[in-house]
Structure 1
């Protein structure tokens, strides 16, 4: 681990208040900044937790759930085959004849076979594709789920054909079946698959439960990705898309039912804005080119550019503020978390740089709590640092497992234990509840997961409730007063296949979330913009 001091400023203790029990997240000392702090949720009907919990085995994000179906391609691997898409070569005697009587001919499916695939059947009825490759056969609709695609030769593989035959439809949003891959006139591989149409609500859910949509505001930029609420305004950042640039949208939300777009800000040749936070009169934006962009929001409707820190081109992906510290995450190839003193919010001073210098992807996000910084270090795991002395930061421990992609977290104190709610990204990623009281011996004590084809993104801990932006699964609210047993108490399904620009990508839907404590939940949807939800 490289720790390089970048300032002659004297070391100083963390300015934030001490941890508060019942899950209160310490996100800053400016009550008007719309922090993610909160008080304990006293409305739970669950008996108080005594702090004890069993250590659970780590099952990783990549659980092999095969076989998915009884159907099979009848020829063995290595056998000659004249036509890979010959329907008669699929044994589907166990498949119900009416399994697909009500099947749509359109929709987006996340598939698992011998790896992840995405099947896109355009809503206009046009030709579909499998993970970007055009379908060579497309028989999907009432009575049938059968399709094929061709992959040209690559540096390591000859040309090959993949054919998928549906068998059962256990739930309206899921199809199971079998597949074969052929190359050079022979059967190369075969097996079973499952395909989830994540645009269809699972588990018999309605649009919402426990959350009410108050307003929806389009963001006239690329993909909206994050939001911070301060001074009666929502600051929404967006990263560039194929046809629109990224930037900042400022919305007056003093009347949550009627947000007013006040301003849109962009900088030349800088469209990768991915994170946002506020402290006092300062707004901090994570830029993939300029580092941390600082705006003056003393007039909240009209941010004024101040400077970029640290003053040289830097890729910053996320920002996080606790007390008088700003943490800016620099992913690969920079592989660092920049630590700034923001006692003077408009004038960040670089104090240090944390770097593990291992793994491939670098850090993604950070969460400061008390004297510790918890860094979601993607393929290097979930890592805790002692940051009490900014010039002498030490690694304390990590939670690591195979093929990990630690992505985001929130931390609080429950029954005297320090508990981290940690989530990954990509298929199979889900919520882990970790006891990190002893950071050198982090323990898995609880989990929460919906469909394995979907991924969570960000989360906010407010009292004893955890708010999750869960991409295709929408917004999920968990009662975590008993951390080993997270209990869903509310949801809002914001993902819709019919929204303009949707393509089934796993990383679209509910992506950013804030809970400033005003009775509302502010959610960013990559395509719908800013959604404001009211809790009962």
Structure 2
């Protein structure tokens, strides 16, 4: 989930996949290029191969046992006892996440240069559509959701848009804003909208999108213009994907089967933690209702039962959750870390909020007797607490990345090191053997990075980090971080560039990924540089209630606590429970 101060408005949006139609894996622009393209779990092989990030649990016990290492806490050797990988791997070139299609998506173009005066941004006569074939949209439906990638004149894809055309006939929206022109259906793909000004720096902006070609039944290419203050501010071409399950997949494979599904009676479900035979789901407030905590009794895995719903007035953005012993820790953007007593697991009781100040905590992570809380605001820092007494956290330190400006999103503790996903500032390693005097050791940074989630383990004597970004064309990276001052890229993995990963769990030799619109993906990572997909479940359908067209929709939270099941939070469907394949 993106940081609240950057992406809050997009959290109420959703982007849907329809479940039955075939779809080509080809995109206007290579999804991932590290010597080869990546699609449908096939790995990149550019001297080595690829993998993805995850929370590590090497099967260290049941998360219901407070003394055990739970899903996400790491292990001394997360890698397999497998001699097929000797630890050797070539260093791959970093190609960044920038998506740069070699050509415009369409021959359609605005006839005015950027900077020109313009009277009406919706004037279709200003678009050259002479190359657009007639009849391209004769069979186009007037409903559905589309995810648009915009390519500017520079050649970079820098903006993603979500178009929602409701099935009930309600007016359409673009990124949640009402359309001011809507001509989508048989014979036409044209729409406009206005983004309100955000003083003092951003004026009101008008957008118009004009379709030209339909290279695939569920893809439309065309051109767009953005106007502000009576001038052409930007223009370019776009590709609009009305997604189905990628690559013509079935709903599931590899024996990953749905055992139970139950809605979460909160705003926007974001994360889940499983302990003491209960699943704790936290949610972010949206237009429908506030966020909070939903508690499910999962003693009967095929029949989860809601036992309690908790919401606090004025505190509606709960994005992360973890537990240790009788303590449940919730990441709050208002109160920091909220501590609940779960000695009665069905009925959590409020204890306190730490560190006792107004601070925005986005995610939490526990290893041993340490609780790490990632707080991007008001000052970018990672809080380190002693939780040897789980219900009474004691603040030990506030760790800050040198030169940090994007803020920490997540972190993963492994041994004496803490690896911080510091969004725009990269993936940063610290020595926290003395938590009161953390020492920065090194970082993996590239242009345009948005480091989002990670997990670390030992494979063939090497320390391997699985690191993932979020956003357009973001994907998984496998890093050899044995020497944190010289982190090396040794593999990559990614699916369609429209969609990115949110959370993951590394359990033994399997990597479980909550991949937003791509659903749940399970990779065999017994040889870290050469993962292969062994199971999947497409959780995403366009017609499910609550679906829309935002980027951060679908499978978002995941836990594999070692009880034989996989617990997934889907932003529209709620809590899903699968067998562990």
Of 368, 375, 380, which aligns to 1:323? Answer: 368
CA distance in 2, matches of 1:409, 1:288: 21
- Give 1:81-480 correspondences, 5 Å limit: 85-86=123-124, 89-91=127-129, 93=131, 95=133, 99-113=136-150, 114=152, 115-149=159-193, 160=206, 162-170=208-216, 172-180=217-225, 190-198=235-243, 200-210=244-254, 211-356=256-401, 358-480=403-525
CA distance in 2, matches of 1:92, 1:437: 57
RMSD of aligned C-alpha atoms?
3.0
Distance 1:52 1:186, change over 3 A: same
2:32 is matched with which residue? none
Is contact 2:183–2:190 with CA below 8 Å preserved after alignment? yes
Q: CA deviation at 1:386?
A: 0.5
Instruction: Report the more deviating stretch, 223-232 or 267-276.
Output: 267-276
SS at match of 1:337: strand
CA distance in 2, matches of 1:65, 1:86: 26
Q: CA deviation at 1:367?
A: 0.4
CA distance in 2, matches of 1:133, 1:509: 21
2:58 is matched with which residue? 24
1:75 is matched with which residue? 111
1:13 is matched with which residue? none
Is contact 2:342–2:348 with CA below 8 Å preserved after alignment? yes
Who wins on radius of gyration, i.e. which is larger?
1
SS at match of 1:391: helix
Is contact 2:359–2:378 with CA below 8 Å preserved after alignment? no
SS at match of 2:351: strand
In structure 1, the gaps of 5 or more residues are: 1-21
CA distance in 1, matches of 2:346, 2:207: 56
Is contact 2:129–2:212 with CA below 8 Å preserved after alignment? no
Is contact 2:381–2:399 with CA below 8 Å preserved after alignment? yes
Is contact 2:140–2:185 with CA below 8 Å preserved after alignment? yes
Relative contact order (C-alpha < 8 Å, sep 6+): which is higher?
2
CA distance in 1, matches of 2:280, 2:551: 25
SS at match of 1:203: helix
Instruction: Report the more deviating stretch, 214-223 or 188-197.
Output: 188-197
Q: CA deviation at 1:169?
A: 2.7
SS at match of 2:113: coil
Structure 1 length-normalised TM: 0.86
Q: CA deviation at 1:110?
A: 1.7
Is contact 2:161–2:550 with CA below 8 Å preserved after alignment? no
CA distance in 2, matches of 1:502, 1:336: 34
Is contact 1:385–1:395 with CA below 8 Å preserved after alignment? yes
* Equivalent residue pairs, number: 510
Is contact 1:333–1:361 with CA below 8 Å preserved after alignment? no
Structure 2 length-normalised TM: 0.80
Distance 1:240 1:179, change over 3 A: closer
Of 509, 526, 530, which aligns to 2:571? Answer: 526
Distance 1:158 1:299, change over 3 A: closer
Is contact 2:359–2:375 with CA below 8 Å preserved after alignment? yes
